Chain A
Amino acid sequence: MSETEVVRVRGLRKSYGGRVVVDNVDLDVAAGEIVGLIGANGAGKTTTVECLQGLRRPDAGTLRVLGLDPTTQAEALRPRLGSQLQDSALPDRLRVGEAVFLFDATGGGGGEELLEQFGLADRRRSVFAALSGGERQRLFLVLALLNRPRLVILDELTQGLDPAARRSVWAAVDQLRRDGTTVLLVTHELDEAEALCDRVVAMRGGRVLDSGAPIDLVNRYGRQVTIRFTMPPGAAVGGAADAGGTLDRLRRAPGVDEVVDRAGQVTVRGDRPAIAHVGAALVSSGWVPPDLSVQVPNLEDALLDLLRRPDPEPVPEPRPVQPRISHPVSGAQR
């Protein structure tokens, strides 16, 4: 395991009562990366990271986290990890400042600076029960980052938060990226993964389906773009906006898969280069629709397509990602 390799998993398998929830998973996380473990509920994400944290014993596979085996060296490993767990809490009457004291193993873990950084300095005397959802998540981030861990595991970090609180937590994770912390982010919110992660690993049914940079996955699985516009009311055959001629040209344009005309409302579907060809065809017809819109797929569109596919063959992790900047996080679900 190299200095830049923070997590290395090979052939991880875990079952509960005969039901396999993680099946032959390989995973690599390099120093400085923000890696998203994504998938629907029950994909095996949380179980995977719980094995990485030494909270669960795998049935099979080899795991190295920060050079340690979480199965046999969990007590040595856990203090080096920063963890934000799914569905966990703090005692209701514990104050923010007391929580920092409790989790600060060294007494100099940077708690005050972190409270300032994450906007909780003025909530130091507030009890946990009085914090808003966003404040709780930011406190969990502070606790996860105490003692300056090399790897932070964040599990469903923004679950149940309103949009403003989500953005606030996202900004905090972005700060981790700038600080160079390695982060393993577990989420089923694909917009979150797309916004925060350098690389995502898609899981379904306990298996890794594919992995890569969000943009690469979008290009791989979400190729189809949708173009919409309205034909002018007076469009007539042979006219400047000859509807029939224009639509025929669009159907023949490279990359166009489908053209649908419903009472003048036109929808064109095709690959990304089709955007340019459709635009060129419209311009050459002498008419540019004023309401033209283009919908390009995002990660959610791409992975919903991936997850719809029946019985996908698992794709092994292609290669360890090159180190960039880093940060850690974790989470998981069964």
Chain B
Amino acid sequence: MNSAVGRLVRTELTLMKRDPLTLTFVFVFPVVTMLIIGGSFGTDPDPAFDGANPSHWYVASYLTVVVAATGLIMVPVHLASYRERGVLRRFAAAGFPRWSFALAQLVVGLVAIVASSAILLAVAAPVYGVPTVHDWPRVVLAMIAGAVAFVSIGVLLGTLLPSARAAQAVGLILFFPSFLLGAGGPPPNVMGSALRAIAGFLPLTRVTDAVRDPWLGVGTATGSLFVVAGLAAAASVLALRRSAL
């Protein structure tokens, strides 16, 4: 693992473990809020949750909160900070390939998502139980596509925004509405029509639908899966183009 990309990925994984923002938003926030919200509506099947156990609904939904926190907060702040401080120029001058940092961010983002998801499920299991996955291929495909899409969006934000502070502000502004309307807040069935319409436009809502519905067996969310796959393809291409060191 002594290639430039290998060394970069290994170093970035090490740094991820030391970053308070990442630890807070990617590893702690989803678990804590899942524990609180997941226990707020009981465990009896509820029509507001498409007939599912509300706790299980939130356990399935909160995997995508991890995806959003990684893509909208961790990656853009990290990347913008590197650009602002000249770290990327230093990497470029040292001969790291132009695409290597974006690829390293993608790998680190995906590792963060897998690790945080595992922690979330490990914490949820003894408290609410982990719901049975009805359609593994769709769930895995949706998680991968959603992760690629959001990490790529994060890379795009990190390359477009001028500073780490700007990236943090924009990231938080994008994250919380997405979190509340698209994954961790009230179910769409209890939202007003306006909020539901807004939620329908949010990428995170599509990712959550594509993961949760086949997981709980309340639908296939094929349309959302196509939207997420398309978003992943477009965002990753743009991210690689924008991320030249």
Which residues of A does B touch, CB under 8 Å? Answer: 53, 55, 75, 78-79, 81, 83, 85, 87-91, 93-94, 98, 101-105, 107, 143
Known contacts A55-B93, A85-B93, A89-B90: does B18 contact A101 (CB below 8 Å)?
no
Contacts of B97 in A (CB 8 A): 75
Tell me the bound Cα distance from A93 to B20 in angstroms.
11
Determine whether B2 belongs to the interface, using a CB cutoff of 8 Å to chain A: yes
Contacts of B94 in A (CB 8 A): 78-79, 83, 103, 143
Contacts of A55 in B (CB 8 A): 89, 92-93
Chain B, range 9-46, C-beta contacts under 8 Å to A: 11, 14-15, 18-19
Question: Does A91 lie within 8 Å of B95, measured CB to CB?
Answer: no
Tell me the bound Cα distance from A53 to B19 in angstroms.
32
Contact partner of B95 (CB less than 8 A), chosen from A88, A98, A105, is: A105
Contact partner of A102 (CB less than 8 A), chosen from B11, B19, B92, is: B11
Contacts of A85 in B (CB 8 A): 86, 89-90, 93
Known contacts A101-B7, A102-B11: does B19 contact A88 (CB below 8 Å)?
no
Tell me the bound Cα distance from A107 to B2 in angstroms.
7
Determine whether B111 belongs to the interface, using a CB cutoff of 8 Å to chain A: no
* Nearest CB of chain A from residue B160's CB, rounded to whole Å: 20
Question: Does B14 lie within 8 Å of A88, measured CB to CB?
Answer: no
Tell me the bound Cα distance from A75 to B95 in angstroms.
6
Contacts A55-B93, A83-B93, A91-B15 aside, 16 further interface pairs with beta carbons under 8 A come to: A75-B95, A78-B92, A79-B95, A83-B90, A83-B94, A87-B86, A88-B86, A88-B87, A89-B87, A89-B90, A91-B82, A94-B11, A98-B11, A101-B7, A102-B7, A107-B2
The 10 closest A-B pairs by CB, nearest first: A88-B86, A79-B95, A78-B95, A83-B93, A93-B18, A89-B85, A88-B90, A102-B11, A107-B2, A102-B7
Most buried by A among B19, B82, B86, B89: B89
> 29 A-B Cβ contacts within 8 A?
A53-B93, A55-B92, A55-B93, A75-B95, A75-B97, A78-B92, A78-B93, A79-B94, A79-B95, A83-B90, A83-B93, A85-B89, A85-B93, A87-B86, A88-B86, A88-B87, A88-B89, A88-B93, A89-B90, A90-B87, A91-B15, A91-B87, A98-B11, A98-B14, A101-B11, A102-B8, A104-B7, A105-B95, A107-B2
Known contacts A102-B7, A102-B8: does B95 contact A90 (CB below 8 Å)?
no
* Nearest CB of chain B from residue A314's CB, rounded to whole Å: 28
Chain B, range 84-130, C-beta contacts under 8 Å to A: 85-87, 89-90, 92-95, 97-98
Tell me the bound Cα distance from A91 to B12 in angstroms.
10
Contacts of A91 in B (CB 8 A): 15, 82, 87
Contacts of A102 in B (CB 8 A): 7-8, 11
Which residue of chain B lies nearest to A77 when distances are taken between CB atoms in the complex?
B95
* Nearest CB of chain B from residue A273's CB, rounded to whole Å: 48
Tell me the bound Cα distance from A82 to B7 in angstroms.
18
Tell me the bound Cα distance from A103 to B15 in angstroms.
15
Determine whether B4 belongs to the interface, using a CB cutoff of 8 Å to chain A: yes
Tell me the bound Cα distance from A87 to B94 in angstroms.
15
Chain B, range 38-97, C-beta contacts under 8 Å to A: 82, 85-87, 89-90, 92-95, 97
Tell me the bound Cα distance from A87 to B87 in angstroms.
9
* Nearest CB of chain A from residue B166's CB, rounded to whole Å: 18
Which residue of chain A lies nearest to B245 when distances are taken between CB atoms in the complex?
A55
Question: Does B15 lie within 8 Å of A81, measured CB to CB?
Answer: no
Contacts of A103 in B (CB 8 A): 94
Contacts of A105 in B (CB 8 A): 4, 95
Contacts of A104 in B (CB 8 A): 7
Contacts of A88 in B (CB 8 A): 85-87, 89-90, 93
Contacts of B7 in A (CB 8 A): 101-102, 104
Most buried by B among A53, A103, A104: A103
Tell me the bound Cα distance from A143 to B89 in angstroms.
14
* Nearest CB of chain B from residue A140's CB, rounded to whole Å: 8
Tell me the bound Cα distance from A90 to B90 in angstroms.
8
* Nearest CB of chain B from residue A75's CB, rounded to whole Å: 7
Contacts of B19 in A (CB 8 A): 93
Contacts of B15 in A (CB 8 A): 91, 93-94
Which residue of chain B lies nearest to A89 when distances are taken between CB atoms in the complex?
B85
Tell me the bound Cα distance from A81 to B95 in angstroms.
9
